[in-house]
Chain A
């Protein structure tokens, strides 16, 4: 029993990391006034590239870096479209998700000739003995804390938030709104890319089709639930990491306890748990009207 709890706790923290990285990144982006619906695409694309790099080099840390780089590139594309070209941010993100799924599966089949999954790649070694933990957990937590401090305790963070609330006044106060929004989009996407790479080299150990499974959107929901605050996002990510872990852990555990049971189909029911949890919590707990006021609106300099 004790061992089960410890196992579930470890899995919760392992599953929380990518959601935390993506949601903290997106908080930075949204605080500047840009919304990036393409988180899901960044997760899946960086997961694919990091599996490719790790497979070829045998070095999961290079995999992590390449994932972050994919995020950076995706962020510059999204920033270019939504900040410089004043495109529709939601539509651009939706298009990017479709594109990223397409490229990652095309690449999967082209590289390994397999429709479902890549071979196993080397992972970032876990630490912590019985309660195995990823060394990336403290990194993600530190990043969340740093983002919180930067956003709410430094003048630069205040200026960034001003870009999302009232860009015209921010510009009048000497802030370069276009540059700030672009950089915030880059930063957010880079963190998300790191999260996508982590899914492969820190958690699952291989790339599979649709590996992100909606976690990018779960992160978007957590951004809203957190009230755009990285500290609350830590709590949110751990809670949804728990539901994620339960949905994967419970059927395995039940199968072990009753070997005669055929649970293959029932796993589908378990897999709905994290999505149901998100749906119920956003519709019951979300308090209206705390989003950055100019979120999703292009800024036109006069």
Chain B
């Protein structure tokens, strides 16, 4: 698809979601213009926070996009993210090492992705169903661990904390302080760009995604490629959970509100970035802007943060219709 129609497609979906969000706010009786000003401007005033919030999203977006290149939908980013966060919290707490914690996060998310892919390849069960079941199972296991075994006796509403030695800090660059987890996420994304577009594995993944039959004809093993892509995707989400814990929250609160929804938002970011790692960095920053804006709107205008979900949901729905952009564009050209 030519770049211009790609940009039109993405703009249409963002505009439509803003329009419907605006109408929804009016219907509910809020000052919609004021809420929009807050949503769109707040994150820009604090680039440090924007980078922190974008980090997990970049990785959960990769978790969705890498498998979808092979035609598999990883809706399990949410569970992989939780597991990565939980296990890297435990490892960092017990061993005090951030590299080990990051590796654990990666491995645990990857393992979940692997399980989902194996059930699909071996048993033919749609990955969407198994992903969601695992999301809920891990959600409850996390809630159990945090409230029952990992809670901080001094602060019972949250888990034990990552020890100082294992935290990932900031890099001071004069006017801005860069949270180190952000460059880690961006570098990971660039690495994935090379895997997808400049490696034989990436080539096999793209062929399997566009036509499993010709992939088999070319001597590739689609099942193997699907399993690898899901494991790689799961590892991304697990890493996202680790980075959030080690670089920002340093603990898990007992309501898990700091983790909830990150995997699902990643689906939106992956689609908005058109499954391209470079696009994903940009789309994640854009969606984080909306999410931070949602938080600010709650504080200052009383609008629930879930407003961001409404935006992301509509963006995803509109992006599911590649045809729509073409219809609108061709009509305009014709008239």
Interface string of B135-168 (1 = CB under 8 A from A): 1110011011001100000000000000000000
Q: B225 on the interface (CB 8 Å rule)?
A: no
Size bin of chain B's contact surface: 35 or more
| Cross-chain contact B147 with A264 (CB below 8 angstroms) | yes
A282 contacts chain B at the CB level, 8 A cutoff = yes
* Chain A positions within 8 Å of B224 at CB level: none
Chain B: minimal CB distance from A259 (Å): 19
Given A95-B320, A283-B119: A105 and B304 within 8 A (CB)?
yes
Residues of A within 8 A of B95 (CB): none
Contact B306 A106 (CB under 8 A): yes
How far apart sit A99 and B309, CA to CA, in the bound complex (Å)? Answer: 6
| Contacts A92-B321, A100-B313, A279-B130 given; does A286 touch B137 at CB 8 Å | no
Interface of B is mostly: helix
A48 interface hit (Cβ, 8 Å)? no
B261-305 interface code vs A (CB 8 A; 1 in, 0 out): 000100110010000000000000000000000000000000110
A293 at the interface (CB under 8 A from B): no
Given A81-B320, A102-B306, A102-B307: A220 in contact with B143 (beta carbons within 8 A): no
- Is the beta-carbon distance between A102 and B309 smaller than 8 angstroms? yes
Q: How far is the CB of A106 from chain B (nearest CB, A)?
A: 5
Q: Give the Cβ gap from B288 to chain A, nearest Cβ, in Å.
A: 16
Can you name the residue of chain A whose Cβ is closest to the Cβ of B126?
A: A224
CA distance A98 to B320 in the complex (A): 14
Q: Is the CB of A214 within 8 A of B267?
A: no
Q: Which A-chain residue is minimally distant from B124 (CB atoms)?
A: A288
Q: How many residues of A contact B (CB 8 A)?
A: 52
Minimum CB distance partner of B142 in chain A: A268
Would A101 and B306 be within 8 Å (CB), given that A87-B324, A272-B140, A275-B133 are in contact?
Answer: yes
**In the assembly, what is the distance between CA of A272 and CA of B306, in Å?**
26
Q: Is the CB of A272 within 8 A of B125?
A: no
Contact of B73 among A40, A77, A90, A288 (CB under 8 A): A90
A-B contact count (CB 8 A): 164
A37 surroundings in chain B (CB, below 8 A)? 128
CB atoms of B28 and A106 under 8 A apart = yes
Query: Contacts A98-B264, A224-B129, A283-B130; is A91 near B144 (CB within 8 Å)?
Result: no
Interface residue ranges of A101-145 to B (CB < 8 Å): 101-103, 105-107, 109-110, 115
- 12 interchain pairs (CB within 8 A)? A88-B320, A91-B316, A92-B317, A95-B313, A98-B313, A99-B310, A103-B310, A214-B133, A221-B129, A268-B147, A271-B136, A275-B137
Q: Which B residues lie at the A interface, using CB under 8 A?
A: 24, 28-29, 73, 75, 119, 123-126, 128-130, 132-137, 140-141, 143-144, 147-148, 264, 267-268, 271, 303-304, 306-324, 327
Further pairs besides A99-B314, A110-B304, A217-B129: 18, Cβ < 8 Å: A88-B321, A94-B316, A96-B313, A96-B317, A97-B264, A98-B267, A102-B310, A109-B304, A115-B304, A217-B128, A217-B132, A218-B133, A271-B140, A282-B119, A282-B123, A283-B125, A286-B124, A286-B125
